[in-house]
Amino acid sequence: MRNDSSRTVVASSAAGWPRARVAKLTGLLALVVFVVAFPRMAADPFILSVGVIIMSYAVLATSWNFVGGFTGYISLGHASYSGLGGYATVLLILHTGVNPWLAMFLGGVIVALLAIPIGIASLRVRGASFVIVSIALVLILLLVFQSWGSFTGGSNGLRVPRPFGDEVLRPEQHERFFYLHAVLLAIAVLCWWLIDRSRFGTGLKAIREDEDKAQSLGVPTFAYKLVVFVISAFFTALGGGMYALWFGFLDPIFQFSILTGSYMVLMSLLGGIRNVFGPILGAVIVGYAMEFFKAQYGDTQIHLVALGVLLGIVVLFMPDGILPALRGLVIRFRPQATSIREVTQEELTRDATGSREESATDRGTGTKEEVSG
């Protein structure tokens, strides 16, 4: 009997939400189909390489969003972890000769371990100090990796051995790396989604809304922040390592650049940090715009101005991102189905008395209403 009733509740609630869920699943399916089909549709290897870059940005932005989206701590220095991940991968391959993919994973683990003391130091402070520390970390690492030439190759950079044999040509490589990045992205998105639905995620979001209140309600704020920080560093390092294997060359100026970190922030904010697909949407828009600017204006400094203006516009006018703005638009133009409506006090009392009379005359429908709701 109890089983029966719970099943009917589930069925009726599923029936009550069919459109939203179907739309979501269709959207997800369309996204997957598009990603799988993209290398076939790409007209030439250049377009495909742009696809790989955008995919890589999507991985990095999603990884960034573990910290930025859940806890609201904006890190401008996530390039430290992608750069460290890239260098760890390549140095492991060069010095120990392990399999490149194992090296990439080990690189991620090493960076995650390094992120523990860094997190302990930087998460003790909030807001601005946290951002300062994240920037400082990139600047230190840039200094170290440029100066420590004997180990890191210094300013000359490091050549990365190709993970596939010489018989795999460049376009083929692009295609393989596109799919590999897509798999990594899918894992990161799945992780984000799982955390989002868990008690852990609820605690993190409580930190974002009001850290003091969360703490006084018993959320172990520091431990939660540290764990999610390490997860974020791990995925960022994997993304950095995979990008290094694809790109084939590491230069400290580009690996430890504040710009890389600010791209991650811009993409996530633009798409919407509270949504699992926000950073991906942001990566597509910003990545495409960047490649467009490079193709149109070459190597001038104008792309910095464009990045700055875009970031400023997003921060000033759209701090919640595109996806929430779109949802707001949909809700506004959809027929009002929510229980909260704008009614005057008179209407409210009239409705209340009216429905009381109604429920008195027809009690049966009233209870049925309650069960399905």
Partner 1 sequence: MTGSLLLQSLVLGVLLGGLYALLAAGLTLYFGVMRVVMIAHSAFLILAAYLAWYFSQQTGLDPLLSLVFTVPLFFGVGVVMQRLLISRLRPATLTMMSVLLTFSVALVIEGTLGFLFGGTHRRIQLPYAGTSFEIFGANIALVKLIAFGLAAIALAGLYVLLKFTPLGQALRATIQHPEAAQLVGINTDRVAGYGFGLGLATAAIGGTALALDSTIYPSLHWHWIGPLMAIIVVGGLGSIPGAAIAAMALGLGQSLLQIPLGTTWAQTFFYLALFATLMLHPQGFFGDRLAQRF
Is 296 an interacting residue with respect to partner 1 (CB under 8 A)?
no
Is 146 an interacting residue with respect to partner 1 (CB under 8 A)?
yes
Binders in 320-339 for partner 1, by CB under 8 A: none
Compute the least distance from the CB of residue 118 to partner 1, in Å. 9
Q: Which is nearer to partner 1, 122 or 275 (CB)?
A: 122
* Binding range to partner 1, per CB under 8 A, among 93-101, 117-125, 229-237, 342-350: 117-125
* Binding range to partner 1, per CB under 8 A, among 9-17, 95-103, 116-124, 193-201: 116-124
* Binding range to partner 1, per CB under 8 A, among 11-19, 73-81, 225-233, 338-346: 73-81
Which of 122, 221, 232, 268 is in the footprint of partner 1 by CB under 8 A?
122
Compute the least distance from the CB of residue 283 to partner 1, in Å. 17
Is 197 an interacting residue with respect to partner 1 (CB under 8 A)?
no
d(CA 247, CA 249): 6
Is 140 an interacting residue with respect to partner 1 (CB under 8 A)?
yes
Compute the least distance from the CB of residue 32 to partner 1, in Å. 32
HSE-up of residue 77 (Cα within 13 Å, Cβ side): 22
Among residues 268, 242, 201, which one has the least CA distance to residue 62? 268
Q: Which residues bind partner 1 (CB under 8 A)?
A: 72-74, 76, 120-122, 124-129, 131-133, 135-137, 139-140, 143-144, 146-147, 258, 262, 265, 269, 300-312, 315-316, 319
